[in-house]
Structure 1
Amino acid sequence: MLLLSREDIKKVFTIKDAIEADKKAFQYVVEGKCEIPLRTNIQAPKYDGCFLFMPAYLEEMDTASLKIINIFPHNIDNGIPSSPAQVLLIDGKTGLVTAVLDGTYVTQLRTGAASGAAFDVLAKKDCRIGALIGTGGQAPTQLEAMLAARKLEEVRVYDMNPERTKAFAEQMQEELKAYGTRIVAAASSDEAIDDADLIITVTPSSKPVFDGTKVKAGATISCVGAYQHHMQEMDPAILPRASKIYFDSREAVLSESGDILIPLEEGIITEKDFTGNLGDVLLGKVVGRENDDEIIVFETVGVAAQDLVAAKEIYDKAVEAGVGIQWG
């Protein structure tokens, strides 16, 4: 069994690799090739926590995976991660566990890559300005995926905490300087999205974090954070303005995301307004962007197929490069 840490993964797998892996995963989902049971959620009320188990099996790759991600919000008070995770990779021919990967980093990569894949496929070609709302653990890979998808002049970052926003922007400017993009702190979400071609929201907010009436024509928006019914980052005002609405998985979004479920319940949109899954566009089953004036919305909650495909590709590259620690 191969043990792969965050640093091991960084040596062999880039955000561009993750974007291409996500594209494959989204196609497998649409084609029905990946078996994805409902995730198991075991509550730990004594500690306000929960244990999540996310399995997947892809016969075409002779691979299964199990991501264990545990949400314990009070961990942060003790200086330890609030969402520790591991991904187990399993040989589909023998049932042997072939690798254990840092699941926190795999999750960050594949979640950021979902936005990157959406922008690569759905955004207009000529984009100059990006906006990132949220500076938490998922934000760095979201930002890098945006930069990998389009050559941008500037990205404006906004978070409710001004000091955190400034520190994040400065850190990312240094870490991502190879992209040649200015990364600046914005004083408000209005300032962040002003004239923005690409917008990402990645927060746990239960109320909209931007004004949908102020999004410019031609923008592409990826909403990432609303993975529960009560969460709603997206301003529902953007939905009637959107020419097209896409998902990573329509089934998953309609079972979880308040961004879509709340506007449905309020009658702001109907299911007839949904265009399809990103995998449908990649397979040529559904049309993508048709002109540079369309506002396009992409809602993602994440699917276990992303973990499986990313983990398998990381493992293959690590074996080839001799990276990681053999155990057992």
Structure 2
Amino acid sequence: MLILTRRDVEHLLTMPDAIAAVEEGFRQLAAGAVEMPQRLVTSVTPYNGVHLSMPAFVAGDPGTLTIKVVTVYNDNRARYDLPTIHAVLLLHDARTGKPLALMDAEHLTAMRTGAVSGVATRHMARPDARVVTIFGTGVQAGPQLLAMAAVRPIQQVYVVSRSNPHDFAVQMTDQLHIPVTVAHDVRSAVEAADIICTATNSPIPLFPGEWLRAGVHINAIGTYTKTTRELDSEAVRRSRVVVDRRQAAQVEAGDIVIPLQEGVIGPEHIIAELADIVTGAVAGRTSPEEITLFKSVGLALQDAMTAALVYRRAVEQGVGQSVEL
């Protein structure tokens, strides 16, 4: 079995390749070639944490079979100076069940989450979108910007965060070679945006929905429980809403669950799953003035497709440590 460290994954995985892999995963989902049970969530209440188990099988030749195990502990940074998210992924040979690789999945998770936003943005944002406003500076934030820059001609990024926004802005300016600046006026940053990415663990909405200007596209990827949300009900009501999977969004995503409970929207307000958009069965955008929203809770097929790509590259390049079980 091959052991791949975070550094290995960082070396092997680029954002354009991750976007292509994830997009193909959604095509396979649309074709009925994916087995993906609802992820199992185990609460670790005394420590403000959750443990997530996410299996997936994507058919094909030879197909890919994975399970990712993730922990999310929201107090880690304040209490222990540790990352909020820890994750590992086990990749099996889909034909025999033999374990092929165990890899660090923290960077992989951030990259595949950025990649799915890239897929959604490619199909839903205006082609001329040039200004991004991002909420959050955690591990998910950088890959979100990498993905936006991979699919749209981004010329300016505004950062809204209470945690090290200046350091993040400097880092991403160097990485993207475009101006990334800290926004001191949240409303101005929202109103200026062609694309908004919310990548926080905020339990309450980040801004009033009436601030959204016509034509903006939103990727909401931070919150993942039914009682927390980054967007208020007005933002959701005004938007053409696409989700990664209806069942998951209507159970796990507070951005969707809460407006449904309030009666602000009905189930029909979700116009499609991302797989429908990718295959062209449903249009991602119907006019330049439309506000579009992609809400992601994260699907195991994204991990499966991205991990399979990493493994293939590792074998081709001789990266990783081989161990006998």
Alignment partners' CA distance in 2, 1:240 and 1:75: 34
Question: How much does 1:73 deviate?
Answer: 3.7
Q: Which residue of structure 1 aligns with residue 71 of structure 2? A: 70
Residue by residue over 1:181-202, the C-alpha shift from the partner in whole angstroms, topping out at 9 and shown as x without a partner, is 2100001321321221111011
Identity of aligned residues (%): 36
Alignment RMSD (CA, Å): 1.6
- Specify every segment of 5 or more residues in structure 1 that has no aligned partner in the other structure, as ranges: none
Does structure 1 conserve the Cα–Cα contact (< 8 Å) formed by 2:135 and 2:200? yes
Q: Is the CA contact (8 Å cut-off) linking 1:139 and 1:202 kept in structure 2?
A: yes
In the other structure, the counterpart of 2:93 is 91
Q: Which letter does structure 1 place at the counterpart of 2:246? A: R
Write the distance in 1 (CA, Å) between the matches of 2:75 and 2:294: 31
Q: Assess if the C-alpha contact under 8 Å between 1:29 and 1:249 holds in 2.
A: no
- Partner amino acid, structure 2, of 1:108: A
- 5+ residue gaps, structure 2, are none
Within-5 A mapping of 1:128-139: 128-139=130-141
- Runs of at least 4 residues of structure 1 off by over 4 A? none
In structure 2, what is the Cα distance between the partners aligned to 1:47 and 1:246? Answer: 33
Q: State the distance in 2 between where 1:42 and 1:81 align.
A: 19
Match of 1:18 in 2: 18
Aligned length: 322
Aligned residue number for residue 228 of structure 2: 231
Q: 1:256 pairs with 252, 259, 273, which one? A: 252
What letter matches 1:299 in structure 2? K
Identify the residue that residue 209 of structure 1 maps to in structure 2.
206
Q: 2:125 & 2:150 partners in 1: Cα distance?
A: 13
2:237 aligned partner, one-letter code = P
The worse-fitting range, judged by mean Cα deviation, of 26-35 and 201-210 is 26-35
Counterpart position of 2:176: 176
Aligned-partner residue type, residue 119 of structure 1: T
Question: CA 1:213/1:32 → structure 2, altered by over 3 Å: closer, same or farther?
Answer: same
Q: What SS is found at the alignment partner of 2:83?
A: coil
The aligned amino acid for 1:169 is: A
Question: 1:223 offset after TM fit, Å?
Answer: 0.5
Deviation at 1:46, TM superposition (A): 4.3
Could you report, residue by residue, the CA deviation over 1:116-154 in whole angstroms, capped at 9, with x for unpaired residues?
A: 111111111111211101111211111111111211110
Question: 1:56/1:131 Cα in 2 relative to 1: closer, same or farther (>3 Å)?
Answer: same
Asked if 1:299 corresponds to 2:295, the answer is yes
> Is the deviation greater in 205-214 or in 107-116?
205-214
Q: Kindly indicate whether the alpha-carbon contact (under 8 Å) linking 1:90 and 1:98 is maintained by their aligned counterparts in 2.
A: yes
Cα distance change of structure 1 residues 67 and 238 upon mapping to structure 2, 3 Å threshold: same
Q: Conserved in 1, the CA contact under 8 Å of 2:236 and 2:255?
A: no
